[in-house]
Amino acid sequence: MNNKFIPVNIPKLYNKEKANVINCVRTNWISSEGKFVKEFEKKFSQYNSRKFGVAVSSGTAALEVAIKALNLKKNSEVIIPSFSIIATALCVIKCGLKPILVDCSLSTWNMDPNTVLKKITKKTSAIIITHIYGLPVDLQKIIKISKKKNIKIIEDAAEVIGLKYKNKMCGSFGDISTFSFYANKHITTGEGGMIFTNNLKLYNKFRLLRNLNFGKVDRFNHSEISWNYRFTNMQASLGLSQFKRIKKIVKKKRFIGNFYFNKFKNNHKILVQANKLDYAKNIYWIFGIILRNKIKNFRKNFQKKLLSKKIETRPFFYPMHKQDILIKKGYFKNEKYPCSEFLSSNGFYIPSGLNLTIKQLDYVANTINKLLINKF
Nearest to 306 by CA among 209, 232, 230, 376: 376
Q: Are 290 and 358 in contact (CB under 8 A)?
A: no
Using DSSP bridges, classify how beta strands 193-197 and 280-281 pair: parallel, antiparallel or unpaired. unpaired
Q: What phi-psi label fits residue 292: left (phi over 0), alpha (psi between -120 and 50 degrees) or beta? A: beta
Distances (CA, A) of 218 to 38, 209, 212, 215, 367: 25, 17, 13, 5, 64
Dump pLDDT digits (tens) for 180-201: 999 999 999 999 999 999 999 9
pLDDT, tens digit, 9 for 90 and up, residues 251-308? 999 999 999 999 999 999 999 999 999 999 999 999 999 999 878 889 999 999 999 9
CATH number of 15-243: 3.40.640.10
> What's the confidence (pLDDT) of residue 375?
73
- The phi-psi region of residue 226 (left if phi > 0; otherwise alpha if psi is between -120 and 50; otherwise beta) is beta
- Report pLDDT digits (tens) over 352-367: 999 999 999 999 999 9
Q: 28 CB contacts (<8 Å, ≥6 apart)?
A: none
Rounded percentage of the chain residues whose pLDDT exceeds 90: 92
Q: Domain 246-373 maps to which CATH number in 3.40.50.2000, 3.30.565.10, 3.90.1150.10, 3.30.70.580?
A: 3.90.1150.10
Q: What is the pLDDT of residue 142?
A: 96
pLDDT at position 296 is 83
Domain boundaries, the chain: 15-243, 246-373
Determine the residue type at 136.
Answer: P
Task: Return the number of other C-beta atoms located less than 10 Å from residue 326's C-beta.
Answer: 19
Q: What angle do CA 160, 18, 30 make, to 5 degrees?
A: 90
Could you give the C-alpha distances from 376 to 84, 309, 342, 371, in angstroms and in order?
Answer: 30, 12, 22, 5
Where residue 65 falls among pLDDT bands split at 50, 70, 90?
very high
Residue 169: C-alpha distances to residues 18, 145, 165 (Å): 28, 20, 6
Residue 34 has pLDDT above 90, yes or no: no
Range name among 38-42, 138-142, 222-226, 314-318 with the lowest pLDDT average = 222-226
Q: How far apart are CA 170 and CA 220, in angstroms?
A: 38
- pLDDT given at position 339: 96
36 has a pLDDT exceeding 90: yes
Q: What is the mean pLDDT of the chain?
A: 95
Q: Are 56 and 231 in contact (CB under 8 A)?
A: yes
N residues, the chain: 376
pLDDT digits (tens, 9 = 90+) for 308-357: 999 999 999 999 999 999 999 999 999 999 999 999 999 999 999 999 99
C-beta atoms surrounding 29 within 10 Å: 17
Q: Range with the lowest mean pLDDT among 197-211, 212-226, 252-266?
A: 212-226
pLDDT at 3 over 90: no
Query: Which pLDDT tens digit goes with each residue over 78-116?
Result: 999 999 999 999 999 999 999 999 999 999 999 999 999
- Band (1; pLDDT cuts 50, 70, 90): low
Q: Residue 313: left (phi > 0), alpha (psi -120 to 50), or beta?
A: beta
Q: Which of 272, 273, 275, 256 is nearest to 264 (CA)?
A: 272
Checking if the pLDDT of 119 tops 80, the result is: yes
What band does 223 get if pLDDT is binned at 50, 70 and 90? confident
Tell me whether the CATH fold assigned to 15-243 matches the one assigned to 246-373. no
- In the predicted model, what is the mean pLDDT of residues 214-231? 90
Which contacts qualify for 355-361: CB closer than 8 Å, 24 or more apart?
355/10, 355/12, 356/6, 356/256, 358/259, 360/2, 360/6, 361/256, 361/259, 361/260
CA 226 to chain centre: 23
Q: State pTM to two decimals.
A: 0.96
| pLDDT confidence of residue 376 | 67
From 191, 187, 358, select the one nearest 285 (Cα to Cα). 187
Per-residue pLDDT, 224: 87
Closest CA to 31 of 189, 183, 187, 236: 236
